Amino acid sequence: MRKRWIVYLAAAMLGGALGGTLLGPAPVGAVAREMVELQQSVNQLIQGQKDIQTLLAQNAAVEKTLMEQSMDTVNKLTGTMMALQKTVQDMQATSGARLDTMSTQIQGISDNLQETLARMGKLNQQLTDAQNAIQGIDAKLASNAPPPPTAAAPGAGAPGAAAAASGLPPVPGAPAGAANSNLPPSAAPSADLLYSNGLRDLNGKKYDLAAQEFGDYLKYYGTTDLASNAQFYVGEIFFAQQQYDQAIDAYSKVINNYPKSFKLAPAHLKRALALIALGEKNSGVSELRMVVKSYPGTDEERRAKAKLQELGLAS
């Protein structure tokens, strides 16, 4: 019995050893497989990380390139905008100068038109006077018999004496007598020539010549319809040369000496601008507001409002 148990125990031990031998390699193989799979996963993660880093580096390079291109584009646009702004400013300055020139030329044309109309009115009046004189002569001839030849008075051959003896009104265009002693000397240029030459030289910026021509016009023809215009253009010459004191004096003469001139509004406006240019802002602003109030609907009113707005003031 005892031997039997010993045999069973030995068999069990042998079986256990054999079982252990058969079962032992299986867990080691599974662990090795898991380790291999884990190593593969780690390698895959490392490779994925490298791929992500490479992609990030590429994206960063692309973004840097895009940023540089954007900055270049912005710089080019900025340069283009600055050039465009300068061009616009130059165009505005040129347009302003051209507008000033055109305004002066338009004023000259308007002046010439006014002078033409005035001359036409005077010619019409002279024609009427001539017709009346002719009718008077015809009436005298029809009512009176011819005088005998011996009745002629001494000096009757002179046209002025004949007119005085007959009692007839002087015929327009007759030689000037004592009544015309206040006319300019024959050596003086004509009014038309002086005025047109003054406008031409003013537009051509020949200020010395224009000042002399308008000065001569005022000297010889200071009571004509265009004398106030000539005085205004004297102020324009001084203003263009930035001689604002003399310009103010010239504009003031237009305002004070020619109260019915159609240059009053321009004279007030330009005197205001000259005062502001001299630093007399309060006086200039006061006159600008006077222009806005006194000359509504005119170009001078619009320019005065624009200047007040430029100064940050209300009209």
One-character DSSP codes across 256-276: HH-TT-TTHHHHHHHHHHHHH
Say yes or no to pLDDT of 254 above 80. Answer: yes
What are the residue ranges spanned by the domains of the chain? 28-91, 190-315
Q: Looking at residues 213-241, what average pLDDT do you find?
A: 95
Best CATH choice for the domain 190-315 from the list 3.40.1410.10, 3.40.50.10190, 1.25.40.10, 3.40.1790.10: 1.25.40.10
Tens digit of each residue's pLDDT (9 = 90 or more) over 103-148? 666 766 767 676 676 667 667 666 666 756 665 565 555 555 455 4
Q: What is the pLDDT of residue 62?
A: 86
CA nearest 212: which of 223, 225, 201, 204? 201
Q: Are 147 and 162 in contact (CB under 8 A)?
A: no
Cβ count within 10 A of residue 197:
19
Tell if the pTM clears 0.75, that is, is over it. Answer: no
Nearest to 205 by CA among 108, 104, 300: 104
Arithmetic mean of pLDDT, 155-159: 41
pLDDT at residue 187 tops 80: no
The more confidently predicted of residues 259 and 78 is 259
pLDDT of 167 > 60? The answer is no
The closest of 190, 261, 92 to 235, measured between CA atoms, is: 261
Please give the pLDDT value at position 217.
95
Cα three-residue angle 230-278-304, rounded to 5 degrees: 65
Burial 251-283 (b: 16+ CB within 10 A, else e): bebbbeebeebebbbbbbbbbbbbbbeeebeee
Predicted local distance difference test score (pLDDT) of residue 170: 42
Mean pLDDT along residues 33-44: 84
Q: Which residue did the predictor score with more confidence, 33 or 266?
A: 266
Angle at 27 between CA 26 and CA 31, to 5 degrees: 120
Q: What percent of the chain has pLDDT over 70?
A: 62
Mean pLDDT of 53-78: 84
- DSSP character for 181? T
Between 41 and 227, whose confidence is greater? 227
116 neighbors 125 (Cβ within 8 angstroms) = no
Q: Give residue 29's pLDDT.
A: 72
Give percent of the chain above pLDDT 90.
37
Model pLDDT, residue 108:
67
